Amino acid sequence: MIVGTGIDIVAVDRIRRLYERHGQRALRHLLTPTEQQTLAAGGDPAARLAGRFAAKEAVMKALGTGWGEGVNFTQIEIVNDSRGAPQVRLSGNAAVHCAASGGRRWHLSISHCRDMAVAQAILEA
């Protein structure tokens, strides 16, 4: 049974400007330490950051919290499994809301091109 769904799209240039303006401060606000390390792994960091941003927004929407209810970006960690597929790890209030909703399994898809990044999250009971 599907507990929640979320989708988000973001302009890569918007995230690029945020990153250029605020640098490490923006990364600390948006990413966990593990995510910050993988961001430097290669490719366009702004596109990768935009994908992670969209994924976290989609997860917040699937949780039904949006930016509210004490859930923040660093309570949602997006990691890749051994095949490169994105996975969701929750902590803090994000994990509490997920458990309260009966959510147990996440499905997450992230895609980006030069201009846009999009992510869809589905939370299953």
pLDDT of residue 94: 98
Q: Is 56 a catalytic residue?
A: no
Q: Does the structure show a pLDDT above 90 at 10?
A: yes
Provide the whole-model pTM: 0.95
Q: For the residues 18-30, what does the mean pLDDT come to?
A: 95
Q: Do 117 and 51 touch, CB atoms closer than 8 A?
A: yes
Catalytic residue among 56, 97, 107, 112: 112
pLDDT of residue 43: 80
Tens digit of each residue's pLDDT (9 = 90 or more) over 62-93: 999 887 789 999 999 999 999 999 999 999 99
Domain map of the chain by residue range? Answer: 2-124
What is the DSSP-derived secondary structure letter of residue 116?
E
Distance CA 41, CA 39 (A): 5
Distance CA 105, CA 102 (A): 10
pLDDT of residue 28: 96
Catalytic residue among 29, 56, 61, 97: 61
Q: For the residues 2-21, what does the mean pLDDT come to?
A: 97
Distance CA 103, CA 27 (A): 28
Strand, helix or coil for residue 55:
helix
Backbone angles phi, psi at 101, to 5 degrees: -80, -10
Distance CA 50, CA 13 (A): 9
The CATH class given to the 2-124 domain equals alpha beta
Enter the tokens of residue 23. Answer: 């640098």
Q: Does the structure show a pLDDT above 80 at 42?
A: no
Q: Is 29 a catalytic residue?
A: no
